[in-house]
Chains A and B, each alone.
Chain A
């Protein structure tokens, strides 16, 4: 039987950027006095009536709606700042939405981040009770589950030691065990498996899987690790800039997240929404165009030629660009910089022809983030603009190097460094 456990209706969360809420009593009193006397607020920025709100508020969540059924394991993925954590914070009632309504049935158990729910002077046993009570369990319930929790965390020996003597892995194990054994209808896990060894990660995933399928609990899981999403979830939501851009099949969702649908594009135009929120914005990256009919797939040895198009808002002397390269598992694996700086004139559109040498990249799909920056004096640089997710490339296995076999990314990583030279003179 399908039963809705969580319903989220048109939820938005707005944050004010910069210094929040004036901050001082004096400022607020001035504002209040001015309003009472019908004068202009002395604390509002000059000309703010004209572009009220522009750049000062930002929507961490923008009209999000979805439902989750009982027993579902829902994955939530998206780039940093997409609004995943904000969504979970609203569900955990840490903060309230600006608009909209969230409803759910039953209790929510969220795993506390390493250390937050623990007090270092207390023993493991005391902290289990503490943590359980924070999550809304009564003493009785915790006592009933206590042995199970300790056994799951593999902590029998250390349970009466103050947790300040624990390693960070032990912390996580115990915290996860408490959250996972709560009699809650909804379980929220946010990137918790990053710490802890591989066997324990596997155990946690199995435990969450069992909670959803066997015990009929609902699991919300946020992670940048696509493999764990694949293993655990049966439905996945992709978030981007505070909106849900996809809701459904896990593989498709992962494909969208890592940019698989951007394949075979040779022209990229960047609208204002794909630009970063920060940066000086004296120069903007507007487009990237691949040359020679390039389709996004190539071997590492091939030279990739492209033209970056942009616009200069101010006259700049030392403009340079770089691409940050991200592997499908979310790891940044490297960055490539332009070899020289260029000058641009105020108000002018410019194009920069570039040639990328990707040799060394192992066969995989990569997301490239483009960044423009200026070199300043004293060996510093100033961030001008960036386009996250500027383009995607797939590196294919080089037919000439077949003799080394299939690249084992999990053991070897994403970069093939130069070959080790066996010195002829010593042999």
Chain B
């Protein structure tokens, strides 16, 4: 019996994820990132400036509606900074999620022609959005610097946790996104729900309000949403407000890893035959 490099059979195990192969395709991931980024802003006048405009406008709206009109508290920091810190992280999360959720359906044409590890696509989506996040974060830092110089805000030492926070957000959006994408190959219903679901999720996360308005007795359930501790720690780090709660933060990581794991397993399971159902 000869040995073959590749053996294709009808079924493979649920946990049979080939990360080594994914690593071999790292150049493709980078090329997809480049392609996504170039094609996003090609033939627009403002180019990557669009990455700034969207969260900036959202922040202004939040500041006016929630901060000025509804008079919600911003925990003692300028409400503009408060809302912007939540918005840029949330924008990253929701963009990644909605984009990865349509991986299979949006790329059916190319996926139907040629094989490469399917995870390449969602991963490159998450990385592409990372560029936008970096641009937005740079904008945020400019505003932050202004307020720090005026002495209104003091960042804390938790700033060191920032890379971890971004990684966690990326994993969480990747995980939830590919769960949806795996299920949408069969149930298109979910596609309709994604944007609505993301909106609901936002109201379950302290993006546009201060976490202190949540009654203490619901806090335990409220904190199950991993985005909540992420945004809390983010604000603690940059704006120096709120409390750092290691228990909730760790719990957020557990949920994140769980969701990512489920996502990869599900995605891996459908990727072989999705062309027949998509």
Contact = CB atoms under 8 A, between A and B. Distances in A.
Interface of A: 4, 7, 15, 20-21, 23-25, 28, 89-106, 108, 110, 112-113, 116-117, 119, 121-122, 126, 129-130, 133-139
B10 A103 contact: no
Given A95-B272, A104-B4, A112 B113 contact: yes
Interface in B242-278: 272-273, 275-277
B9 A119 contact: no
Contacts of A97: 8-10
A96 B8 contact: yes
A113 B8 contact: no
Given A21-B186, A94-B111, A103-B6, A136 B276 contact: no
Contact of A101 (B9, B25, B42, B110): B9
A67 to B, nearest CB: 10
B112 interface: yes
B275 A95 contact: yes
A98 B116 contact: no
Contacts of B34: 126
B35 A126 contact: yes
Contact of A116 (B5, B113, B190): B113
A42 B2 CA distance: 49
Contact of B187 (A24, A92, A99): A24
A95 B113 contact: no
A96 B272 contact: yes
Nearest to B42: A121
Contacts of B16: none
B275 A94 contact: yes
Contacts of B188: 23-24
Given A4-B2, A102-B7, A25 B187 contact: yes
Contact of B189 (A15, A24, A113): A24
B7 A94 contact: no
B10 to A, nearest CB: 5
Contacts of A117: 110, 113-114
Contacts of A138: 24, 27
A116 B276 contact: no
Interface in B99-127: 109-116
Contacts of B189: 24-25
B104 to A, nearest CB: 12
Given A112-B113, A133-B27, A134-B110, A105 B4 contact: yes
Contact of B277 (A20, A103, A135): A20
Interface string B26-51: 01100100110011001100000000
24 contacts: A21-B186, A25-B190, A91-B8, A93-B6, A93-B115, A93-B272, A94-B111, A94-B112, A97-B8, A100-B9, A102-B7, A103-B4, A112-B113, A117-B113, A119-B39, A121-B43, A122-B39, A126-B38, A130-B31, A133-B27, A134-B28, A135-B114, A138-B24, A139-B27
Interface residues of B, number: 38
Contact of A23 (B4, B27, B116, B186): B186
A244 B167 CA distance: 52
Contact of A90 (B5, B8, B43): B8
B108 to A, nearest CB: 10
B276 A102 contact: no
Interface centre among A94, A97, A101, A112 (most CB of B within 10 A): A94
A112 B10 contact: no
B31 A96 contact: no
A135 B115 CA distance: 8
Contact of B35 (A15, A23, A90, A130): A130
A21 B28 contact: no
Contacts of B38: 121-122, 126
A421 B116 CA distance: 62
A372 B189 CA distance: 41
Nearest to B112: A94
Given A21-B277, A23-B188, A94 B113 contact: yes
Contacts of B10: 96-100
Nearest to A129: B31
Contacts of A94: 111-115, 275
Interface in B13-72: 24-25, 27-28, 31, 34-35, 38-39, 42-43
A104 B115 contact: no
A108 B109 CA distance: 19
B187 A103 contact: no
Nearest to A95: B275
Contacts of A135: 114
Nearest to B6: A104
Given A95-B272, A97-B9, A133 B31 contact: yes
A121 B9 contact: no
Contacts of A90: 8
A137 B11 CA distance: 27
A129 B276 CA distance: 29
A110 B35 contact: no
Contacts of A139: 27
B25 A136 contact: yes
Contact of A92 (B4, B7, B115): B115
B159 to A, nearest CB: 35
A165 to B, nearest CB: 13
A110 B115 CA distance: 9
Nearest to A98: B10
B44 to A, nearest CB: 11
B276 A20 contact: yes
A31 B115 CA distance: 33
Interface in B216-236: none
Contact of B273 (A95, A104, A129): A95
A273 to B, nearest CB: 24
A117 B114 CA distance: 9
Given A99-B10, A104-B5, 6 more contacts: A94-B112, A101-B9, A105-B6, A113-B113, A126-B38, A130-B35
A4 B5 CA distance: 12
A112 to B, nearest CB: 5
A271 B114 CA distance: 37
A7 B39 CA distance: 41
